[in-house]
Amino acid sequence: MRADIRIAWVLTRGSERREWWRISLTALGALAATAFALGAVTIAAVPGQVSIPYAHGLLDQPGQRSGVVLTLLLLLIPVLGFLGQCARIGAVHRHRRMAAMRLTGASPAQVRRIAAVESSFASLPGSVAAFVAFAALLAAVGHVPPPAAWAGFAAVVLAVPVAAALVGVFALRRVVASPLDQVRRTGSDRGRRAPFGFLLGAALSSAAGLLVVLPTSIRSAAFPLLVLALVFLTGAGAIWAAGATAAFLGRRLTRGARHPAVLIAAARLAHDPWAAARTHAALLLVTVVGVGFVGIRAVLIADLRSSGPLARNMAFYTTGIDLAGAAVLVALAISLCGLAVGTAESLATRRKGLAVQAAAGVPRTVLARAALLETALPLAPALLLAGTGGAAVYLLYAGIVGTGPVPLLPLLVPLAVYAACLLTAATTLPLLRRVTHPAELRFS
């Protein structure tokens, strides 16, 4: 392991200029993860009941601070997914270097470890920069954390690069570099998982639906646990639905489609159907949470306005609600960045094949439509299922509160997320001009 770390450090220092974007994205993800973790440590270190002149008293009570800490920690999930995407695209981009290591006797597992450790080295500057900026912010506001908090800060700065390396190992577990300058992903025939994926998604969604019809007394007593169960069940079902839909549509459209863009997209989906599930996992979970949050927010504000004593302190409640909404938006933005990185990684991985298709006369517009269809086809049913799960969350809350009509605005959230995903995928299309350049034919 020590030799792997030494090799990774040498390779990181000798990175080419064209790899700046990979290192920059990894450092940016590490900066975000460190900032969230440092904020959680700072808030958790505040002792007892205090008076903090921020957020309208939301941080004064220990119980309320615990909710803020939990929200900041949950934001680490999409950030770690983003770091995994960066590690994956970086490994494919450096395929010649990986092939050279294989020629010198390195095993596939060792090559994956070295690529993952490179991610930790790339994330270290972002982690340190976040700590420096956070320390400057604390000095500017005049807050002096206790010594235990500083120990937590140091642990966070060191833990984020380690977490980036572990996420990289997990993301690259199926990436194999051969000595013949090829990088591929291996695994069992995942197309056979499509029926199981549909069944599992339906079973998880049915289980989530049963939670909504529980007796009111049980729903009131165990509401937080029921919400976590709903998010997990519908999120997992949506992720499996994305992979199963990609496998099913890939096989069907390859046989019957006539439009060239559909055929190209179907061939890609049939080749690696579960790539959609990997890329869209964080987005689907954020969609479930986003739909549930918008619905709960509407029900909660209506309930507060109808209550006389609580309505006089609306700023306190709306501040907490708005902070939660900001956290959901931040998680969505990070997930969309992960989608952009994943789409770019897909194009970079297939640059040889895309260059051959362009040289054979396939218009670049057809290849662009195919790239968008790879995102649009498996994502639509998965977002529909995620939206259903989010609706179950706020219907569960509305049933407990029993205030007014059920809002319908949250049902538009999946459509907004779907449009944002397509726009994000479209931002990577300029990369097609580079990967379809005739110069790529030299490596075919």
Q: Give the model's pLDDT for residue 186.
A: 46
Closest CA to 377 of 418, 348, 316: 418
Q: For residue 408, how many other CB atoms are within 10 A of its CB? A: 10
Residues (pLDDT < 50) of the chain are: 186-191
Please list the residues that pair with 177 across neighbouring strands: 183
DSSP for 35-73 reads HHHHHHHHHHTS-SS---TTGGGTTSSHHHHHHHHHHHH
Residue spans of alpha helices (H) in 108-222:
108-141, 147-171, 194-212, 216-221
Distance of CA 155 to the CA centre of its chain: 24
Distance of CA 1 to the CA centre of its chain: 29
Residue 386: CA count within 13 A, CB half-sphere: 34
3-state secondary structure of 177: strand
CA distances from 325 to 16, 229, 243, 296, 328 (A): 40, 20, 29, 11, 5
CA distances from 19 to 23, 32, 246, 395, 432 (A): 7, 20, 31, 47, 18
Give the pTM.
0.76
Residue 88: CA count within 13 A, CB half-sphere: 30
Question: CA-to-CA distance for 439 and 436, rounded, in angstroms?
Answer: 8
Q: Considering only CA atoms, give the Rg of the chain.
A: 24
Closest CA to 111 of 97, 132, 125: 97
Closest CA to 83 of 160, 151, 137: 160
Q: Give the model's pLDDT for residue 174.
A: 62
Distance of CA 78 to the CA centre of its chain: 4
Closest CA to 52 of 134, 142, 133: 142
Q: For residue 174, how many other CB atoms are within 10 A of its CB? A: 13
Any idea where the domains of the chain sit in the sequence?
2-185, 190-443
Tokens 């490596």 label which residue?
A: 443
**Cβ pair 75, 330 in contact under 8 A:** yes
Q: Give the model's pLDDT for residue 191.
A: 47
Which one-letter amino acid corresponds to residue 382?
A
